[in-house]
Structure 1
């Protein structure tokens, strides 16, 4: 064999070696990386499967990590495998009689794919259907994601269909999880912000029918109920307390048509309840589409003029800067005032600063604002968190309408001193602002999410408590706390006093310019007074006043949540 023949043989050998090496690598990828996926596909081709989860997806839990805020539940449902039912008409007739439905209605399911039927079942109906022993029809418990009264709907958000093919492509690239055009995805709230983590790769429980090529049940295998782990989905643990949330929502259903309530843990800044009205059911969006443009708006994080609650900032600035003491005297002329009239039209006459705070006297705070100047008020409002819309674990886009610099624009200062004009704040921000007083002058960032947990119970991501910073001196905070107690003991917020615990806070009545004699009524306060546990902010749109409309709701909520659960 000459040299050139040997060279050709060597080249041929290497080409064959490269070919087989490539083939081996490809087989290894199929077996080791995609093997489980191909095995699953092969199993699906020779079986029929029905998920026993209405929506395979991670849970959104309250702060205990146990209770789902969607209030999901397990209920018996009919599982139907129409492909293996020989006499569909007879089977549909029998089920229709038991369910009290028309046969034609049932036949639409019998002529479709395998699924669970949407009908709730009584114990009697369950027994009767089981006694029929129809091959391809069985009863299993289905986990329904939404109960009849889900909690914190605006915070949880809702799911919706994938609307466009480009959107489907984006989702499939999001985190390696596979989406189908029929999947439901997060459209708002926590469901939207944590779509990547909540998305399930597969149901954890399902009914499986083993069939041959003729769609007949394989003897000895039949229909089984199986479980499988889903390492893809994660649960989201919030700071909300489901019992406090339920209490707040129950009271709002009776007392508040439009508005918001926020309950904050006074020690940590954790948000224990966030309730908004009007409400919607996240499991049935269609029912709420005619409820008005703000049905899906989370009023807890929406901007409003805070009214006289903003006087807390003006008072804090004046006390901290040494411009006023509790016993300093002022004169209120009511409607005759030069800069701004008082809500008490005859005027309060001679009045001390502490009395002016308790009675929410407008002219006194306008006078203090002029002495302070706009930049000082902006500085303190910013320090109290009234320009930070950040909530830990809840990445809402910033509303650019909130701009404290507008206080310094011409003709804005006096109106700003009473929380009108350009001053805007959310109920969450006002809760955090008042919490500064409770925590001896320290601002704590509000938090909504504690962390994410995988199927094995391991926390995969933690959201630590928020950063804190000193805003005012402890002595100033102590004095403000005393003044807030005067509001509920002797002032315009008497209806907010909680007997047996003592409560303190500030009213607000923000004019809304709707041509009616109504206001956005506020009360933001805390209880118990000596060792505060909760900061609660109540907003009632189109109310009479903060003291008349919002304060009694504050009292009822605080009384209810201070009672042992």
Structure 2
């Protein structure tokens, strides 16, 4: 009997402990942790409401990225007819609404029969159509402006992407999370401008139509549909970029036709160094960006081996330091290492101007050797004077952000490996022709071309002009900004302009193809040897960088094809077509 009592006591105690634990858990769920349940800080009240709510998101509440003319880079906004599922249970003026929307009554009734959630029906409505439909005040029928992501992406690397990231939320937005201003599932920027301007773009409040349903999806509190939206007239903000969407779209079409797989282009306004258009390939896979994380990387902000593009720096130093004799000739039948070249690569005796136009390696390796003997830091000095030794994107203090950067993914250029000896003649010669450890971002090369076209004035590159309040007022303006440090003299800039023009106008110039363009072009080609593949074919980076029109420079343009074959690269064709497109759009 004693054993039975003990067992009953143990069982009763276990039941009571279990009940206490269950009640404690219920108290935690219903009374204590209602707004921050579990490690994921789930708001149980919101989740409960969401379970019995159907909604149509009109605007996600995140700040917008717009071009220089105010056109969205990511979304389209259109007036659309929205119908709710409970219409199938009631009489409503189907024929009248169908007539106003330009649809057949049959289309509307059939759509409602199949509907399980609020749905857009038909095409875009005019302002008057929207007014007439809403004037009927039919429950479950709304004509509203709806924001939709564009089907065809444009400037995807400029815009970047958003995604849920618990790590970023907890690292950067603890206070907002604690205050309930955002949740752990709020999308944040993980690349492009979405990332660099993320704190400004965080959603204020979604705009949506919603109603409550029972477990079968029927109206819980009648047929009352509510509109919720941000009442704040100032937020969310617009980030007004310097990009021209019309130009961006046209030039992306050029890229798509070219078949270029890795690389891209940068187009700058010469006067301001503002980005007018920019594209990187491969394109971002927005549906599954992490399937190929390299696609998220903007190649235009990543240092690449430039080849003969770097001869522009050597030319600047040679001009300014008087290292070039008027009648001096260079034997371009020899390589930089004093070996006789194959017959097809021989260029004969060339002067300085012709050497630049025809891109003779021997001339610039000899000049670099002279520079090194005079001052081992000279190459670095002139790279700095042309804006190649520092980040070129706009940076500065913006509110509480110290050294805020518009291009958060921009990487630093390199000329030397830390262990390189700048007095080693062989390393100096390789650096002079843009090989070995010389790596430049296409953005910085485009800015160098703009600097030369401006007469040597260095400016940072800007891609955002202003942060605007929702009502159009200015929250912050990014003024044009000079780059620090010394610059080339106006005379040197003038001589570089002449050399860059010779590349195109000379019969043997590496840019002679551009002679037939409606705009006159000045520029420099570049081919950097990367490696030799298994079939013994050279893999190269193929560049062309320049500005146009020469008489009154408006644009600086860089096109680069990365890890390609020199004989099949579309670099020059892309440059040609872009210049032609811009002429036709002017």
Same fold (TM over 0.5): yes
CA–CA distance in 2 between the matches of 1:487 and 1:552? Answer: 16
Give the count of matched residue pairs: 490
- CA drift of 1:564 comes to 3.2
- Which residue, 391, 402, 409 being the options, matches 2:414? 402
- CA drift of 1:326 comes to 5.9
**Deviation by residue 1:451-492 (Cα, 9 ceiling, x = unmatched):** 201112111111110214651111111111111111111201
- CA drift of 1:228 comes to 5.0
Task: Name the SS for the 1:72 alignment partner.
Answer: strand
Aligned equivalent of 2:231: 229
CA–CA distance in 1 between the matches of 2:555 and 2:148? Answer: 30
Check 1:120–1:216 CA distance in 2 against 1; reply closer, same or farther (3 A cut).
Answer: closer
- Which residue, 45, 50, 54 being the options, matches 2:55? 50
- Which residue, 433, 436, 443 being the options, matches 2:448? 433
Aligned equivalent of 2:254: 251
Q: Within 5 Å, which residues of 2 pair with 1:199-238?
A: 199-203=202-206, 205-209=207-211, 215-217=220-222, 222-223=224-225, 228-230=230-232, 231-238=234-241
- CA drift of 1:237 comes to 0.9
Q: Within 5 Å, which residues of 2 pair with 1:282-431?
A: 284-286=286-288, 290=291, 292-325=292-325, 327-334=327-334, 338-339=337-338, 345-373=344-372, 374-392=376-394, 393-396=405-408, 399=411, 402=414, 404=416, 406=418, 408-409=421-422, 410=424, 411-431=426-446
Check 1:381–1:210 CA distance in 2 against 1; reply closer, same or farther (3 A cut).
Answer: same
Q: Is the 8 A contact 1:488 1:496 kept in 2?
A: yes
Task: Name the SS for the 2:331 alignment partner.
Answer: strand
Check 1:344–1:471 CA distance in 2 against 1; reply closer, same or farther (3 A cut).
Answer: farther
TM-score with structure 2 length normalisation? 0.74
Aligned equivalent of 1:262: 266
**Deviation by residue 1:371-400 (Cα, 9 ceiling, x = unmatched):** 001411111112212121241151425646
**Structure 1 residue 552 and structure 2 residue 576: aligned?**
no
Check 1:314–1:58 CA distance in 2 against 1; reply closer, same or farther (3 A cut).
Answer: same
Q: Is the 8 A contact 2:247 2:277 kept in 1?
A: yes
Check 1:229–1:524 CA distance in 2 against 1; reply closer, same or farther (3 A cut).
Answer: same
- CA drift of 1:302 comes to 0.8
CA–CA distance in 2 between the matches of 1:390 and 1:240? Answer: 17
Aligned equivalent of 1:463: 478
TM-score with structure 1 length normalisation? 0.76
CA–CA distance in 1 between the matches of 2:554 and 2:570? Answer: 23
**Deviation by residue 1:73-94 (Cα, 9 ceiling, x = unmatched):** 3363645467x9769xxxxxxx
Aligned equivalent of 1:171: 173
- CA drift of 1:155 comes to 1.6
**Structure 1 residue 477 and structure 2 residue 493: aligned?**
yes
> What is the RMSD computed on CA atoms of the aligned residues?
3.8
Point out where structure 1 has 5 or more consecutive residues left out of the alignment: 1-40, 88-96, 111-115
Q: Is the 8 A contact 2:392 2:444 kept in 1?
A: no
CA–CA distance in 2 between the matches of 1:138 and 1:344? Answer: 79
**Deviation by residue 1:37-79 (Cα, 9 ceiling, x = unmatched):** xxxx9xx99x967354252211101122x11111423363645
Point out where structure 2 has 5 or more consecutive residues left out of the alignment: 1-45, 91-105, 395-404
Q: Is the 8 A contact 2:140 2:225 kept in 1?
A: no
Q: Is the 8 A contact 2:501 2:522 kept in 1?
A: yes
- CA drift of 1:542 comes to 3.6
**Deviation by residue 1:149-179 (Cα, 9 ceiling, x = unmatched):** 2221112110101335x83585252596711
Check 1:167–1:142 CA distance in 2 against 1; reply closer, same or farther (3 A cut).
Answer: same
CA–CA distance in 2 between the matches of 1:467 and 1:428? Answer: 16
Task: Name the SS for the 1:563 alignment partner.
Answer: helix
**Deviation by residue 1:177-235 (Cα, 9 ceiling, x = unmatched):** 711234222121111222221122223x43355999982326xxx33657653333111
